Amino acid sequence: MPERSHYDVLGVSPGAKPDAIRRAYLRQARRWHPDRPMGDAEQMRAVNEAWQVLGDIRSRAAYDRSLARSAPRPPRPAASRPPPNAPRPAASPRSSEPPPSPPLEVVGIRWRWLSLAAVVLAAVAVVVIFLATSAIDDSDPDAPITASAPVSQSRPESGDCFLIATINLITVPCDHPHDGKLVEWVPLGAPCPPDTDLHWVRSAQEAVCYHPPSG
């Protein structure tokens, strides 16, 4: 009779989790402890030995490796050889026909999807180029404007802060980066109050007098 493994002693499978092994040990210890009426000292010794091995991760891993080495290997099936005079099977002829082409409907669907993707990419590129060029102020090439603050397309009034765009002004909150604080609108050729700068707004055909940001 083959020797029982520690898993057999505790009544668990080799793949049992640590909690299952612990519960099995307690169950077997209550059953075989010598102080119980049906206890068995020899069986209790085997239960304790199984727990000492399987209750520790390292010792259990080493024990599993030893079980794998000692497990009998199934015999390899003998290769069947044909009789010496047996005829060889005829080789299947290679087909010279080319692989079937995809249906025309599938080709048409792929072409439509590719065309749609090209149109979408072209539209995105146009929008990006437009936004990039419209955000640059050609009135002062040395100071390009990039508005990171929330902007408004409404006409700025006295006391509003603004960014200078290509042909107009963009109203922004004064606690965000800006190009100036508007004092008043004046017609072309009219002077501005002292300590203010003048900027011609092409879209309005007027000029603004403004205070540049301090610092």
Please, what are the domains in the chain?
6-69 (1.10.287.110), 135-215 (no CATH)
What is the arithmetic mean of pLDDT over 179-191? 92
Q: Is pTM beyond 0.75 here?
A: no
What amino acid is encoded at 166 in this protein?
T
Say yes or no to pLDDT of 152 above 50.
Answer: no
Please give the distance of CA 208 from its chain centroid, rounded to a whole number: 50
What is the arithmetic mean of pLDDT over 78-104? 64
In the prediction, which pLDDT does 143 show? 45
Q: How confident is the model at residue 130 (pLDDT cuts 50, 70, 90)?
A: very low
Torsions phi, psi of 84, nearest 5? -60, -35
Contact 161, 175 (CB under 8 A): no
Burial 8-26 (b: 16+ CB within 10 A, else e): ebbebeeebeeeebeebbe
What is the arithmetic mean of pLDDT over 21-49? 94
Distance between start and end Cα atoms, the chain: 96
